[in-house]
């Protein structure tokens, strides 16, 4: 990366529909354990969703949780887990200690406020729409910076905090934003990643359903764990999920100085915009974004061991992304591709961060996790190198390219390299 500082990952905290820590999550990905279930939501009845089951009270008091949001509780859980994993201890550090202002918080989120507003509209509807029953907590619950702000309140961090709105590319984009702030010297540590509370708003299910993009079951296939089918010929759409993943990022020099363990080094990234459609990805722009990340990392496609695809399971979206992957990596037989949403569904703003986390342990264990529920390509969606069914053992894994795209045409790619 043509920048003055090298950026490394030194902590990971997460909750996914199939695991509440990296070890459990990785085990699920290597053993075809899904977190997709049937879920009841307002006005829609039974839908399919990826649902997390973490301990909201591990780092919060009940009063704080009642005042806050589900997105905030996910941010607090993941952020504290990441700090603990990185051995960055805030307990006992007073407000005047420089550490509290040396940490920045950068959290990606697809959308925020929908859940709280839907709940308040429902609530006042039970009282003849009398607005005196509207919660005075609604405004701080729904401002765009809420999840990052709740994490700062919980931890006492007084450095910068922000949420990054980049649709389903937000988790990746937050990592990029954090890395840039570290390289500018604005902070010494960054808590960065993505958060999703999406399943708690019926609107997201209703909207995808109206688009014909919501995954569904059939009499022939009634199992919810089979509903999310990235790249498969029988893919029917998106499974909406909640979840979160927060990393501790810092400069390599700082990590070495304090003797931190290093999961990997962020060596390149790309960000661009399709500018062609509200929802349909543009494969040419996606391919350009991949090449941009490779150029920043001073790498060629042949240097990449794992490409983790965005792959939402929609017929058109997956076909466009498959074309982009084939365009950039199709001539390189060593490149392996996997997709994570078959296991956990689409965690929206958390997707990129969670999916990168699922691949990071490959640097140590040498396995490429498979794409769950893939059986065969159709004529619109084909490329070489997809790992499906069972994990694939590699001689060595040194590089991961993590892809995320979102509505309004935002594309991101992050390249992470094994630190050696």
List active site positions: 168, 310, 346
Query: For residues 147 and 72, is the Cβ–Cβ distance under 8 A?
Result: yes
Query: For residues 179 and 269, is the Cβ–Cβ distance under 8 A?
Result: yes
Q: Is 190 helix (H, G, I), strand (E, B) or coil?
A: strand
Cα distance between residue 235 and residue 316, in whole Å = 10
Query: For residues 115 and 197, is the Cβ–Cβ distance under 8 A?
Result: yes
Chain centroid, CA 231 distance in Å: 19
Cα distance between residue 405 and residue 211, in whole Å = 18
Q: Is 112 helix (H, G, I), strand (E, B) or coil?
A: coil
Nearest residue to 74 via CA among 189, 200, 180, 172:
200
Cα distance between residue 164 and residue 148, in whole Å = 10
Cα distance between residue 213 and residue 337, in whole Å = 23
Cα distance between residue 168 and residue 143, in whole Å = 19
What is the β-pairing status of strands 103-109 and 161-165? Answer: parallel
Query: For residues 340 and 402, is the Cβ–Cβ distance under 8 A?
Result: no
Query: For residues 350 and 171, is the Cβ–Cβ distance under 8 A?
Result: yes
The upper half-sphere exposure of residue 352, i.e. CA atoms within 13 Å in the direction of its Cβ, equals 34
Query: For residues 84 and 247, is the Cβ–Cβ distance under 8 A?
Result: no
């Amino acid at each position: 990366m043509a920048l003055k500082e090298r950026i490394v990952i030194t902590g990971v905290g997460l909750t996914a529909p199939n695991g509440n820590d990296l070890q459990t999550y990785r085990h699920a990905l290597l053993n075809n354990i899904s977190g997709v279930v049937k879920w009841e939501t307002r006005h829609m009845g039974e839908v399919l969703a990826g649902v997390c089951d973490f301990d909201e009270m591990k780092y919060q008091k009940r009063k704080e949780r009642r005042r806050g949001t589900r997105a905030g509780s996910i941010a607090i859980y993941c952020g504290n887990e990441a700090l603990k994993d990185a051995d960055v201890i805030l307990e006992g550090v007073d407000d005047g200690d420089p550490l509290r202002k040396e940490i920045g918080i950068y959290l990606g989120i697809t959308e925020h406020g929908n859940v709280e507003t839907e709940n308040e509209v429902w609530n006042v509807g039970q009282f003849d729409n009398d607005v005196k029953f509207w919660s005075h907590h609604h405004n701080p619950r729904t401002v765009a910076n809420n999840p990052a702000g709740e994490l700062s309140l919980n931890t006492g961090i007084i450095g910068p905090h922000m949420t990054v709105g980049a649709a389903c590319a937000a988790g990746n984009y937050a990592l990029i934003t954090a890395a840039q702030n570290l390289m500018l010297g604005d902070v010494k540590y960054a808590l960065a990643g993505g958060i999703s509370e999406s399943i708690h708003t019926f609107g997201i299910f209703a909207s995808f359903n109206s688009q014909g993009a919501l995954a569904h079951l059939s009499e022939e296939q009634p199992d919810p764990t089979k509903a999310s089918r990235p790249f498969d010929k029988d893919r029917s759409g998106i499974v909406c999920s909640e979840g979160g993943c927060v990393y501790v990022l810092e400069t390599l020099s700082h990590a070495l100085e304090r003797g931190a363990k290093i999961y990997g080094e962020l060596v390149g990234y790309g960000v661009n915009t399709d500018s062609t459609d509200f929802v349909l990805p543009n494969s040419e722009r996606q391919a350009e974004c991949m090449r941009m990340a490779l150029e920043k990392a001073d790498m060629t496609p042949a240097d990449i061991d794992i490409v983790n695809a965005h792959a939402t399971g929609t017929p058109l979206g997956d076909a466009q992304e498959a074309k982009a992957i084939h365009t950039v990596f199709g001539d390189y037989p060593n490149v392996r591709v996997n997709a994570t949403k078959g296991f956990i569904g689409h965690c929206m703003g958390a997707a990129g961060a969670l999916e990168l986390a699922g691949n990071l342990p490959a640097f140590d264990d040498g396995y490429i996790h498979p794409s769950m529920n893939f059986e065969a390509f159709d004529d619109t969606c084909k490329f070489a190198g997809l790992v499906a069914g069972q994990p694939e053992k590699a001689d060595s894994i040194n590089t991961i390219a993590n892809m995320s795209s979102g509505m309004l045409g935002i594309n991101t790619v992050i390249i992470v390299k094994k630190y050696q």
